Structure 1
Amino acid sequence: MAFVPNELDPGRSARDLFGWEMREHRKHADNMSLDQLTQIIGCISKGHLARIERAESMPPPELPAQLDAAFGTDGRFGRIYLLARKEKFPGKYREWSELEALSETIEEYSAATIPGLLQTPEVARFSLLAGHPHATPTEIDAKVAARLNRQKRLASSAPPHCWFILDESTLRRPVGSLATMRRQLDAIAMDKRPHITLQVLPFTAGAHAEMGGSLFLYTVPGRPTVVWEEGARSGELIADAVDVAARRRSYDLLRAMALSPRESRAIIRRISKEYGRAGEPAGELAEEQP
């Protein structure tokens, strides 16, 4: 089956525009292949170049000048790069990040991993490495910095009220070493900030409508609540009032099924102690570095 490139919207973000320009200039250069462009560039892999063209990866600093030289574009890629490097998130996630930054109330259910707003730097790095196994160290560093930057608002003078419901699986799936996970759970258990409410949805709660994904409800002053629904590889912004109401009912039901905040912190501390008693299994580095 022939490869079909993904669609790019050059008006969505500077990163999309950069990838769109790459693709268009390849087409106009006698349909230059990515293999051919890789040979011309010389210092970047075909896979990395493909991710940049799909707007999935940030271009490295040296690439714009190399593309301008390859296509004779007189600094065009360099100018787009100046805009792209200011973007913390890819275009499809920008609306979501802006909603989070403006919300006075953030409600989240996570079935996959510890919520990004609560992650320690270690767990943030391991999570991003797992989700982006082909990313370069520079790209991972940028993603970690963006994630930790999101957390600053929770420590501001006017933080949003946050309600987190964590599936028990997020506590029991080790991310990084056992010591890393223990430090993460201890940080959550000891977090007593009044604007953060935390609940654990235990395995004993059984099946429910949001299994396998994550659900975010954002309330911005003067606007209707908006939902961000996320799976392993994609996310969808939901603003339709009927659909938002359905997700609200699902979230409220999860809240009713979950343990109380006091019981939740108790189970988090108990699981943290289990990590401590288990120690590091044979063959695993006790001080694994992210």
Structure 2
Amino acid sequence: MHAKNTPASPSTVLGRQLGDELRRLREAAGMTTTQSADALDCTKGKISRIENGRVAVRLPDLTAMLLAYEVADDGVLERLTTLARKANRRRREGWWNQYGDVLADTYRDQIEMEAISESIRTYQVQLVPGLLQTAAYGRAVTVASRAWKTPEEIEQFVEVRLARQRRLTGDAPLEFWAVLAEGVLRQQVGGSAVMHAQLEHMAVMAERPHITVQVLPFERGAHSGMFGPYLLLSFPQVSSLDLVLSEAPTGNVWTERAPEVARYRTLFDDARTASLSPTDSLALIHRVAKEYQS
């Protein structure tokens, strides 16, 4: 997978401007990110994400940072406060916010992180990744989840899933690498016709140069990465910390501590190494798709 530049959203540009200023002020104060995190009673990862423009800066956090950095200039405080408000307003205006009634906070965070990420690696045990799902497959998954009751809610959630997929088809598309347990191909979702169309769609997407799909066949047996689905998100800035999103029925969980993220990188490498090659994976996907036609 080759890195590409990802176009920044307006909120990201403003967030980076604010983050750059806060980084300079921290360094001028002679403080490390660890010391800054201690002052705010948060994680080092949060400070890094603020300085990289990846998360919104709450005004109380901004005030606490400036206090810790001993910034007494009212002009600086006013300018950075205005910048933070503009960046946060732009984030609230993201397309996903119109679907606020059907999106959990974690899922909204995931979409915003996708919007500014450079690459995503994912391991999936049972479901086709959302970025590769067809509308019919996504609708069947949404109905089965029982999290959304009315037809309107279900259709809105499917719309969100399809809108997310624009990150794979724009001028500077996201680098996407998916390792799928063979069960993803075999688990019937929505019936044979839906599965045939879904697998053929996934095969077409896998032909794109920035998308890699590998299948981990049943015959490979036990492996270190078989214990649940996750996404590993990477960002353009060299100094950025990768993030991991672990998926669970009771709520997804973000992991940001470097040692834990490094463990997920190792798990993903183990999974892709144990999998079929992309070419052989594509052949298997086509074969299973044909089985759904019989």
TM-score bracket, normalised by the shorter chain, equals 0.5 to 0.7
In the alignment, the residues of structure 1 paired with residue 116 and residue 215 of structure 2 have an alpha-carbon distance, to the nearest angstrom, of: 26
Residue 200 of structure 1 and its aligned partner are, at CA, apart by 0.4
Does 2:248 align with 1:231? yes
2:218 corresponds to which letter in structure 1?
A: F
Aligned to 1:203: 218
The structure with the largest helix share of the pair is: 2
SS in structure 1 at match of 2:208: coil
Aligned to 1:158: 172
Residue 127 of structure 1 and its aligned partner are, at CA, apart by 0.7
Residues 225 and 270, structure 2, Cα contact 8 Å, conserved in 1: no
Further displaced range: 115-124 or 232-241: 232-241
2:175 corresponds to which letter in structure 1?
A: H
Aligned to 1:171: 185
TM-score under structure 1 length normalisation: 0.64
In the alignment, the residues of structure 2 paired with residue 241 and residue 201 of structure 1 have an alpha-carbon distance, to the nearest angstrom, of: 27
1:60-71 alignment, distance < 5 Å: none
- Structure 1 pair 85–197 and aligned structure 2 pair: CA distance change class (3 A): closer
Aligned to 2:117: 103
In structure 1, stretches of 5+ residues that fail to align are 1-82, 278-290
With CA pairs under 8 Å and 6+ residues apart, which has the higher RCO, 1 or 2? 2
Aligned to 1:91: 105
TM-score under structure 2 length normalisation: 0.63
Aligned to 1:141: 155
Residues 199 and 258, structure 1, Cα contact 8 Å, conserved in 2: yes
1:123-138 alignment, distance < 5 Å: 123-132=137-146, 135-138=149-152
In the alignment, the residues of structure 2 paired with residue 86 and residue 276 of structure 1 have an alpha-carbon distance, to the nearest angstrom, of: 36
Aligned to 2:233: 218
Choose from 251, 270, 277 the match for 2:287.
270
Residues 182 and 276, structure 1, Cα contact 8 Å, conserved in 2: yes
Identity of aligned residues (%): 39
In the alignment, the residues of structure 2 paired with residue 147 and residue 273 of structure 1 have an alpha-carbon distance, to the nearest angstrom, of: 26
Count the aligned residue pairs: 195
Name the Cα RMSD after superposition: 1.7
SS in structure 2 at match of 1:190: helix
In the alignment, the residues of structure 2 paired with residue 84 and residue 263 of structure 1 have an alpha-carbon distance, to the nearest angstrom, of: 40
Does 2:183 align with 1:184? no
- The superposition leaves residues 217-272 of structure 1 with CA deviations (integer Å, 9 ceiling, x where unpaired) of 10011111111111233211000001001111001100100100000001111111
Does 2:277 align with 1:251? no
1:168 corresponds to which letter in structure 2?
A: E
In structure 2, stretches of 5+ residues that fail to align are 1-95
Residue 152 of structure 1 and its aligned partner are, at CA, apart by 1.1
Residues 203 and 282, structure 2, Cα contact 8 Å, conserved in 1: yes
Aligned to 2:208: 193
- Structure 1 pair 259–149 and aligned structure 2 pair: CA distance change class (3 A): same
1:162 corresponds to which letter in structure 2?
A: F
